[in-house]
Amino acid sequence: MWPALFTPRAVALIGSVGEGKLGYHLLRQMVDGGFPPARLAVVNPKGQGALGVVGYPSVAETGLPVDLAVVVTPAATVPAVLEECAQAGVRAAVVITAGFSEMGNVAGEEAIREVVRRTGIRVVGPNCAGIVNTHHALFPTLETRPPAGSVSLMAQSGAVGGVFLAWAKEHGLGIAKFISYGNGADLNERDFLEYLAEDPETQVVALYIEEVTEGRAFMRALAACARRKPVVVIKAGRTEAGRRATLSHTGSMAGADAVYDAALRQCGALRVASLEEMFDLCLGFTALPPVRGRRVVIVTNSGGPGVLSADRAEEVGLTVAEPSPALRERLSAFLPPYCGLSNPIDLTVEGTEEGYRRTLAAVLEEYDAAVALNIAPAYLDSVPLARGVVDAARESGKPVAAAFLPGPIVAEAVRYLRAQGIPNFATGERAVAALARLADYYAQRDARVIGPGAEGAVAPEGGPQGSLPDSLLEPDLMAWLRENGIPVPEFRTARSADEAVAAARAIGYPVVMKVISPQILHKSEWGGVLLGIADDGAVRAGFERLARVAAGVDFRGVVIYPLVQGAQEVLVGLFRDPQFGPVVAFGAGGIYTELLRDVALRVAPVDRAEAEAMIRETRAYALLAGARGRPPGDLNALADLIAQVSYLPFLYPEIAEMDLNPVFVLPQGVLVGDVRLIPQKNHHTADSSDSPDSSDSSDSSDSSDSSDSL
């Protein structure tokens, strides 16, 4: 089907081509784009053609090997049109027509799918802005016809594609394929990702999405594509309105967008926030050799814009290092004395072709990449400067990003740069921002181990192996965690003061005592947690106190732990995302975790390397690792714990959400300090929706209780 769609032998436009109609505009695009008119046909009841393309009353009558139909007939007619096309041997269709599920006409869209299933014809759209294959002169789209090149763009939104393609034309970015897939009734982003991963004409993939269905399948397709070539993604719709309603502590801290963010990164895609950034990365990937490091040099002919670029470079994580003494000496041998020899290197407005050439050639031996700035006054001819830049870039083989501006003054120089393969960015700031992302990409590309989440693994060998304990009270969950290999402290339960004393002695003082009751959800608030109990007398007094706390509710005794000292406290959690399923969360502890949303997420499961990356990406990582005189925590054991937890939802599909909070990180080993688990609604022991205050997450120290009313 892909050749039919992207390299059709002949194309039929189905619909009216009266002047001013959509069909007319589409036909004009195809004709002006250079598709041979003899390989085009128009099909409509009157057999009316236009623009030199012959019209027929049916596809069958065109006498052409029509592989692709472009459909602009009214929505109600589309299924029948597709049926007729399929009968006539057409294998692919682009349905421009709107008026389907996007405005409630779900039946119409289902009718399209029905034709697809029955006849095997494949459909792009409906409600789309068409497709482009520049390398086949194929332009059945309403958007700007871009120059040919190696960037392929997929967009749910046709208009986003339109803006991107218009910029591509204006700024000379070469496009291979453009696919506006609209409602995605049949083919969707997953299919196109699979195709573009293999497409030899596509070097970089750009993807604009607002939402995906089947998150795991999407991740598989995206990860497979991203292993082959850079994939730059805009995921729009990031507002708070989309925040997930959730019961657990970690779940409530993570917005829905944060899960998309994790999923995209796990797949190795480069997420960007704006079309400009997407454009700049595509430009960088197609026009620059790999960026192999973060040391960047800025060669400029004006101070201010150089400083602004340097500021931005440091903000985005590049190093604007000073030239070495040896390099300075080399530079001072040929540069005039008024040139600044620090980075940015300011050739001043007197900077010449030879100045740019020799300076860039010299500095590129020492730096990983260069930005060549030229802020041209009207009287300056910038073409020679462009020649200097081009020659030096060619000689060095290293990435050189140009920022020649302002546009009207440097137009000719920019054309020259482009023709010689040097990308020109709108500003120096945008150039360094792109270089930083490229450096990230190349640094990670080879090292990248796509976690099992990205592979869409759903369950470890053997599938679901167990069911949750009947009781979700703290001691039962602790026992269950231990059975699953997750380190919990020694603990004992006691139903009387005597039992409690015996338990405390067995564990060894000092101990911690907590009340057990299915009705006490927030033990701390109830006064149900006693820390640092030092002797038998205190145990007896404590037991009485906890019994009083539970007076009038179902008192099930107490649970006793050793007091864990000298630990740092973190939290590890699980929740389910509607698109991606189980997600594992790690927060490096403290009230700031919540104030700052200092939480790392991954679509579960994760392996140990990915778990380590989660720990490192929190801001408080430095503290865990031993900053500020603290004893470093056992991060290996912590990573193991996170990975183990991330597999639990696959072993126990009944888990909806779980918080381990706190988890004690010790210099040797880790221990779960408390556990709270919310089962899926159909769990056999409880209906979590009945929990009176299970949605409360106002105090992390109180999130330590099972919210199940057992």
| DSSP class per residue in 498-554 | HHHHHHHHHH-SSEEEEE--TT-S-TTTTT-EEEEE-SHHHHHHHHHHHHHHTTTS-
Query: Minimum CB separation from its own copies for residue 81, in Å?
Result: 21
Query: Minimum CB separation from its own copies for residue 584, in Å?
Result: 24
Write b or e for each residue in 4-39: b if 16 or more Cβ atoms lie within 10 A of its Cβ, otherwise e. bbbebebbbbbbbbeeeebbbbbbbbbbebebeeeb
Quick check: 131 binds its own copies (CB under 8 A)? no
Q: How far apart are CA 293 and CA 321, in angstroms?
A: 12
Quick check: 170 binds its own copies (CB under 8 A)? yes
Query: Using CB under 8 A, which of the segments 34-42, 259-267, 542-550, 620-628 binds its own copies?
Result: 620-628
For its own copies, the closer CB: 628 or 684: 628
Quick check: 162 binds its own copies (CB under 8 A)? yes
Residues numbered 188-217 forming contacts with its own copies, rule: CB under 8 A: 208, 210
Strands (E), 197-351: 204-209, 231-235, 270-271, 296-300, 345-346
Query: Using CB under 8 A, which of the segments 60-68, 235-243, 672-680, 685-693 binds its own copies?
Result: 235-243
Among candidate residues 132, 177, 126, 101, the one with its CA nearest the CA of residue 35:
132
For the CA atoms of 617, 275, 280, 442, what is the dihedral angle to 10 degrees? Answer: 30
Quick check: 704 binds its own copies (CB under 8 A)? no
Among candidate residues 687, 678, 689, 614, the one with its CA nearest the CA of residue 652:
678
Which pair of structure tokens corresponds to residue 196? 């573009």
- Residue given tokens 């000092």 in the structure block: 510
For its own copies, the closer CB: 11 or 209: 209
- Give the H or E element holding residue 13: strand 10-14
Residues numbered 541-600 forming contacts with its own copies, rule: CB under 8 A: 590-592, 594-596
Residues numbered 410-469 forming contacts with its own copies, rule: CB under 8 A: 427, 429
Query: Minimum CB separation from its own copies for residue 495, in Å?
Result: 31
For its own copies, the closer CB: 298 or 660: 298
Q: Regarding beta strands 581-587 and 599-603, do their DSSP bridges make them parallel or antiparallel, or are they unpaired?
A: antiparallel
Quick check: 159 binds its own copies (CB under 8 A)? yes
Query: Using CB under 8 A, which of the segments 86-94, 213-221, 299-307, 467-475 binds its own copies?
Result: 299-307
Quick check: 381 binds its own copies (CB under 8 A)? no
Q: Which of 200, 245, 333, 379 binds its own copies (CB under 8 A)?
A: 379
Q: Which of 120, 407, 485, 692 binds its own copies (CB under 8 A)?
A: 407
For its own copies, the closer CB: 140 or 557: 140
Q: How far apart are CA 503 and CA 444, in angstroms?
A: 52
Q: How far apart are CA 525 and CA 518, in angstroms?
A: 15
For the beta sheet containing 231-235, the strands, ordered from the edge strand earlier in sequence to the opposite edge, are: 130-133, 175-180, 148-155, 204-209, 231-235, 270-271
Residues numbered 509-538 forming contacts with its own copies, rule: CB under 8 A: none
Q: How many chain residues are in contact with its own copies, going by CB under 8 A?
A: 77
Quick check: 348 binds its own copies (CB under 8 A)? yes
Is residue 643 within 8 Å of 606, Cβ to Cβ?
Answer: yes
Query: Minimum CB separation from its own copies for residue 490, in Å?
Result: 29
Quick check: 689 binds its own copies (CB under 8 A)? no
Q: Which of 333, 338, 552, 684 binds its own copies (CB under 8 A)?
A: 338
Is residue 395 within 8 Å of 365, Cβ to Cβ?
Answer: no
For its own copies, the closer CB: 143 or 640: 143
For its own copies, the closer CB: 77 or 348: 348
Quick check: 169 binds its own copies (CB under 8 A)? yes
Query: Minimum CB separation from its own copies for residue 636, in Å?
Result: 23
Q: Which of 74, 89, 317, 377 binds its own copies (CB under 8 A)?
A: 377
For its own copies, the closer CB: 349 or 637: 349
Among candidate residues 418, 435, 433, 432, the one with its CA nearest the CA of residue 171:
418
Among candidate residues 264, 186, 187, the one with its CA nearest the CA of residue 222:
264
For its own copies, the closer CB: 155 or 558: 155
Q: Which of 239, 465, 636, 689 binds its own copies (CB under 8 A)?
A: 239
Residues numbered 303-322 forming contacts with its own copies, rule: CB under 8 A: 303-305, 307-308, 310-312, 314-315, 320
Query: Minimum CB separation from its own copies for residue 109, in Å?
Result: 14
Is residue 672 within 8 Å of 682, Cβ to Cβ?
Answer: no
Q: Which of 18, 52, 57, 406 binds its own copies (CB under 8 A)?
A: 406
For its own copies, the closer CB: 465 or 698: 698
Residues numbered 11-70 forming contacts with its own copies, rule: CB under 8 A: 25
Which pair of structure tokens corresponds to residue 199? 């497409």
Q: Which of 10, 138, 160, 515 binds its own copies (CB under 8 A)?
A: 160
Q: Provide φ and ψ at 18, rounded to 5°.
A: -60, 145
Which pair of structure tokens corresponds to residue 114? 């029905």
Quick check: 101 binds its own copies (CB under 8 A)? no
Q: Provide φ and ψ at 618, rounded to 5°.
A: -80, 155
Quick check: 328 binds its own copies (CB under 8 A)? no
Q: How far apart are CA 142 and CA 158, in angstroms?
A: 9
Query: Minimum CB separation from its own copies for residue 97, in Å?
Result: 12
Q: Which of 38, 76, 103, 625 binds its own copies (CB under 8 A)?
A: 103
Q: What number of CA atoms fall less than 13 Å from residue 20's CA on the CB side?
A: 0
Query: Using CB under 8 A, which of the segments 270-278, 359-367, 512-520, 599-607 binds its own copies?
Result: 270-278
Q: How far apart are CA 178 and CA 181, in angstroms?
A: 10
For its own copies, the closer CB: 150 or 302: 302
Among candidate residues 420, 416, 166, 169, the one with its CA nearest the CA of residue 288:
420
For its own copies, the closer CB: 433 or 585: 433
Q: How far apart are CA 33 and CA 394, in angstroms?
A: 33
Quick check: 680 binds its own copies (CB under 8 A)? no
Q: Which of 1, 88, 163, 450 binds its own copies (CB under 8 A)?
A: 163
Q: Which of 55, 140, 146, 158 binds its own copies (CB under 8 A)?
A: 158
Secondary structure of residue 178 in the 3-state scheme: strand
Quick check: 632 binds its own copies (CB under 8 A)? no
Query: Using CB under 8 A, which of the segments 78-86, 274-282, 362-370, 412-420 binds its own copies?
Result: 274-282
Cis peptide before 662 (omega within 30 of 0): yes
